[in-house]
Amino acid sequence: KWQLMVETPTKAVPVVKFSNGCLRQTHEMPVRVYKRKSSAEKSCVSHKVFVASTDHVDYVGEYHRNNSLVQQLLAIEDGKYVRLYPAELVTLAPYIQRPESRAKAKEGDSYRGQVDALASAFGSKRKRRAVESRLRLEVQESNLQLSASATLGEIQESAVLKETVEETSTVSAIPPQNKNAVIPQDVYPIEAIVQADDHPYLDQLATPLLSAGAEEIEQWRADATYSDYVLQRVLRMSKDPENRELESRLLVYYQLLVNLSRMRPKDFLRKDPMPNVEEPIKQKLLNTFTLSARNEQGICKRTFPDRLRDKVFAYLLVLVLILEDYKADLQLVQPDTKASTSRLVNIGYALGCHVGTHRLPGSHISTKYLELKLPLHNGLRPKKMRK
C-alpha cells in the first residue's frame, strides 16, 4: 500500500518526450525554455516553448496552460511512498524551417549582419577573426544581461516565497480552528485535539490523578513524575465527576506533549523514540509533530525541526487555555516548555489570542498572559511604536 506525499517545489518539473522516438545517446541533451511575458496575460496563463537541438535536427514543443483548476502531476515511486510533483508535460517534435521563412529571415538581417556574413565568407583571416571576436563579445554581454535579470528575478521570487512559507508554516502549526465560532469554547474544539479513540488509554494514564492526595503529589514533585503545571493544576480539579475526568484526560495529554517537546535529535534515532507510550496515540503523536523520510538504504529517519516544536507548544497552549477558562498566564507553561516569552507570545498571536500584561497577586513583576476571546486577533504580532 502506497502513502502519497505531495511535494511543493518552487517550480514545476518539466517532463519532455519526443514524438519520433527516444534518445539513444547516453549523454544528456540540453533543453532550452523560453517563457512568454505579457502584461495583458493573467497570472493563471502560462505559455512556454521548449527547444532541444542535435547536430542535425531541432526539436520544439509548446506548453500552454490557461486553466488554474487543472494541474499535471508527476508520480515517483520511492519505496512505499509515492511522491507527487507539479509537472509540465511537453512533447517535442522535429522542427523543419520552410524555405520562405529562411528567405525572409535573411531579408530581415540588418546591414551589420549582412556585412559580417560577407566578411566571414570572403574576407581575409584577419577580418574573419575580428568578426568572430566581436560576435563573441556580443554573446557574452547578452548572457551577462540574462544572468543579471535571472538573478534579480530569483531574489525577488525567493523573497516572496519566504514570506509565503512563513505564513503557511504558522497557519499549519496551530490546531484545527473553527473560524465561524460564536463563543471561545468553539474556536478549538476539544474533540479535534483529543480524539475519542484516544480516551481509553488517556483515562488509564489519568487514573492516579483522579484520586491523588497531598502526599502523592509531593512524591511526584520530588520524583519529577509530572510537569510543574500538571502538579499545580491537579490540586484545582473540579469536584464534578464528569468535568474531573475530562480535566485529568487533558492533563495527561498535556504531559505527553511536554515529554515530546523535551526530546532531542538523538532520541529520534532509536527504533522506538517513545517506548513508554502505547499505540495508537504514539503513532499519532509522531505523525503529527515529527517528519519521517527513507534514505537510499530504505532506513526510516525521523526529525523534529523547530517549526514542529512550535506546533507542540501551540497545542500545549490550547490545552492550558481550555483548562484555565481561556485566560492563562505564560508563567504556567514556561517552566515546562523552557521556551522564551517572545516565542510563546508569537505562538499565542498565531492562535488568535489577545496578549496582555499584568501582575500576579503579591508580586511586583509584570507577566504576559494569553486570552482567547472574540473577535480573534489577526494572528500578526503588533509592531512597536517608535517614541
In this predicted model, what pLDDT tens digit does every residue of 312-359 receive, in sequence order?
999 999 999 999 999 999 999 999 999 999 999 999 999 999 999 988
Q: Which three cell numbers stand for residue 373?
A: 476571546
The span from the CA of 329 to the CA of 292, in Å, is 34
Range of weakest confidence among 27-41, 251-265, 275-289, 327-341: 27-41
- Number of helices (H) and strands (E) in the chain: give both, helices first: 12, 12
Question: What pLDDT does residue 161 have?
Answer: 42
In this predicted model, what pLDDT tens digit does every residue of 97-149 receive, in sequence order?
665 545 554 545 677 777 777 777 777 788 888 888 878 787 666 666 666 66
The span from the CA of 386 to the CA of 9, in Å, is 39
CA angle 295, 300, 306 (to 5 degrees): 95
Question: What pLDDT does residue 17 have?
Answer: 82
Question: What pLDDT does residue 385 have?
Answer: 52
Burial 304-314 (b: 16+ CB within 10 A, else e): beeebbbbbbb
Range of weakest confidence among 137-151, 171-185, 259-273: 137-151
